[in-house]
Amino acid sequence: MVAHSGLLTVIERAARKTAPRLRRDFGEVEHLQVSRKGPADFVSLADKRAEDTLVEELRKARPDWGFLLEEGGTIEGDPTKPRWIIDPLDGTSNFLHGIPHFAISIAVQEPKRDGSGWGEVTTGLIYQPLTDESYWAEKSRGAWLHDRRLRVSARRDLTEALIATGIPYHGHGDMAQWGRIFGAVAPSVAGIRRFGAASLDLAHVAAGRYDGFWESGLKPWDVAAGILLIREAGGFVTDFRGGDQPMERAEILAANDAIHSKLHKLVATALR
């Protein structure tokens, strides 16, 4: 059985402490107080409570680290130390509609050595509270589902590939761009899925359940842990133009090497 590092143990403990309250709130979703954060972008009391619990638990273990939070924004820490990137409830709309597909996402990002900003993500965990699936990765130690090593899909033919995506919606995303990409990709693949939680989509690419994924307009907390998972599972993650900084460009194109190359050609052609 693979052993967790001390840091990963801290992360998983925080996620598992947060999960029971999320499960209870999900069971009583019709009673949640919901406030409107923006067009079709809801934030529930469950979301806020989950984030508060994660911050409290992680701060106990690493009191001088900063945070990048979906709800709470940036909390500065020691600039020479790593920071946490946290989405306490990815898939909020699913959660509020009683759809059992959501996750907690936690990642650790290192500062650049020259002090010019933030660099690579070195640890990540995506935890599904309802199924108890714990996807995790540490740089150079591989990607795992509990104690099972993950590898991206071995499929090489687009006609056999199942691709996941996120679809723009009211007030969010570039529908025209997405439509061009969909028009190029859909006729070439075995199917396209949209489940509404990017962190889990990326975890499923790492696990070989999906053969690829694309989406734009995502935030760092949506993708930080998932990008590491896919790369540690042997996959490729770039922006739409093949660049290696997808989190900064807010464009994600992920797959194994063969499928990624073919998807990249289709996407590049669609965006000309």
Q: How crowded is residue 174: how many other Cβ atoms within 10 Å of its Cβ?
A: 12
List, for residues 52-110, the tens digit of each pLDDT value.
999 999 999 999 999 999 888 999 999 999 999 999 999 999 998 889 999 999 999 99
* Tens-place pLDDT, residues 155-197: 999 999 999 999 998 888 899 999 999 999 999 999 999 999 9
Give the 3-state secondary structure of residue 114: coil
**Mean pLDDT calculated for residue range 229-234:** 98
For the segment 125-145, what is each residue's pLDDT rounded down to a tens digit? Answer: 999 999 999 999 999 999 999
In 3D space, the residue among 45, 47, 171 whose CA is nearest the CA of residue 102 turns out to be 47
The whole-number average pLDDT for the span 149-154 is 98
A 10 A CB-CB count for 5 gives 12
118 beta partners:
111
**Domains of the chain with CATH codes:** 6-149 (3.30.540.10), 158-270 (3.40.190.80)
- What's the pLDDT at 143? 98
With tokens 């990409």, the residue in question is: 181
Q: pLDDT tens digit string along 8-43?
A: 999 999 999 999 999 999 988 877 767 766 655 667
Q: What angle do CA 208, 196, 137 make, to 5 degrees?
A: 40
The token pair at 185 is 């990709």
Q: What is the pLDDT of residue 41?
A: 61
What pLDDT sits at residue 28?
A: 85
CB atoms near residue 100 (< 10 Å): 13
Return the structure tokens found at 238.
Answer: 């770039």
| Amino acid identity at 130 | L
- pTM of the entire predicted model: 0.94
3/227: higher pLDDT: 227
Rg of the Cα trace of the chain? 18
